[in-house]
């Protein structure tokens, strides 16, 4: 890692540590306390992107710690018994909502590099009484899980913060099981914007300067071996930059397809 990349990572870590401490002290962790957003764009980030029913499922502190640009749990189409990984899990809102969706036979991992956020997430988990979630410390460029161990990867406005996005996307592909899927919320630029123009619209730690364009996101996921890539804009966060839903899928292997067909045949299906 270059010195500049290391500096950016430390700035991100410090910003989110500050946000976690703010929530822990009883102050909201969104715009003014170090999230991706600015006060002028507060409705585009954080707890406002979760409906009232979802917010009521969890303790107030969980929603207050939400610093993302979307709601990946609304698009990930989670099922009972699945294994889910949340990259950059922060205060844990998406992990805990996902844990409710996959039920007691499923499991959800939250990965974060900030010790303060992990402590806040574990506190929120205990308060919510959720037992099928596990918070891990680590980098999204080096996920501490085995290959082909996860059914779904979600993330909420974190991939844009990485200084090595190709490695992040490769790690997503590595940990996904064949047939596994991606449901990510992120800030994405229109293809018309150069990297320099993205930097003019906001800081790296503000989730703007480091954002990929649509074509860069599609190319990166496809280069990692994923298919059926879709990028859908949901709301504008800066001129020609948007909160977006990014979806993709890991192809089935022939062996896996045969296994599933055999299981279906045993059940008298198809």
Residue with tokens 């980030």: 45
Q: Which two tokens stand for residue 136?
A: 């891990």
Q: Which pLDDT value is given to residue 31? A: 42
Q: Which pLDDT value is given to residue 259? A: 59
> What is the H or E stretch that residue 133 is in?
strand 133-137
Q: 262 exposed, middle or buried (CB, 10 Å; 0-12, 13-18, 19+)?
A: exposed
Residue 87's φ and ψ, nearest 5 degrees, are -85, 120
Angle, alpha carbons 20-187-72 (nearest 5°): 70
Using a pLDDT cut of 90, give the percent of the chain over it. 58
Q: Which pLDDT value is given to residue 53? A: 52
Domains of the chain: 72-266 (3.40.50.150)
**How many C-beta atoms surround the C-beta of residue 112 within 10 A?**
28
Spell out the per-residue pLDDT of the chain, length 270, in tens.
Answer: 788 878 777 777 777 778 767 766 655 444 433 345 443 344 444 444 555 455 455 555 555 545 556 677 777 889 999 999 999 998 898 999 999 999 999 999 999 999 999 999 999 999 999 999 999 999 999 999 999 999 999 999 899 999 999 999 999 999 999 999 999 999 999 999 999 999 898 877 777 889 999 999 999 999 999 999 999 999 999 999 999 999 999 999 875 555 555 655 565 655
């Amino acid at each position: 890692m270059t010195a500049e990349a290391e500096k950016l990572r430390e700035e991100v870590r410090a910003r989110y540590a500050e946000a976690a401490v703010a929530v822990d002290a009883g102050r909201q962790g969104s715009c003014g306390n170090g999230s991706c957003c600015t006060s002028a764009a507060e409705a585009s980030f954080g707890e406002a992107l979760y409906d009232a029913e979802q917010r009521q499922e969890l303790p107030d502190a969980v929603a207050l710690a939400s610093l993302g640009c979307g709601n990946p749990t609304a698009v990930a189409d989670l099922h009972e018994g699945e294994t889910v990984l949340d990259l950059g899990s922060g205060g844990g809102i998406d992990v805990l909502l996902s844990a409710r969706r996959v039920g007691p036979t499923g499991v959800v991992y939250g990965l974060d590099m900030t010790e303060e956020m992990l402590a806040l997430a574990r506190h929120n988990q205990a308060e919510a009484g959720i037992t099928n979630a596990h918070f891990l410390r680590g980098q999204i460029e080096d996920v501490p899980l085995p290959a082909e161990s996860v059914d779904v990867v979600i993330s909420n406005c974190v991939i844009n913060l990485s200084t090595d996005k190709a490695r992040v996307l490769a790690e997503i592909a590595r940990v996904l099981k064949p047939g596994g899927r991606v449901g990510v919320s992120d800030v994405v630029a229109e293809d018309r914007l150069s990297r320099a123009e993205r930097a003019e619209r906001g800081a790296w730690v503000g989730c703007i300067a480091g954002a990929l364009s649509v074509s860069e996101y599609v190319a990166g996921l496809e280069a990692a071996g994923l298919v059926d890539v879709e990028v859908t804009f949901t709301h504008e966060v800066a001129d020609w930059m948007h909160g977006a839903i990014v979806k993709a899928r890991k192809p089935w292997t022939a062996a896996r397809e045969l296994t599933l067909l055999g299981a279906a045949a045993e059940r008298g299906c198809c």
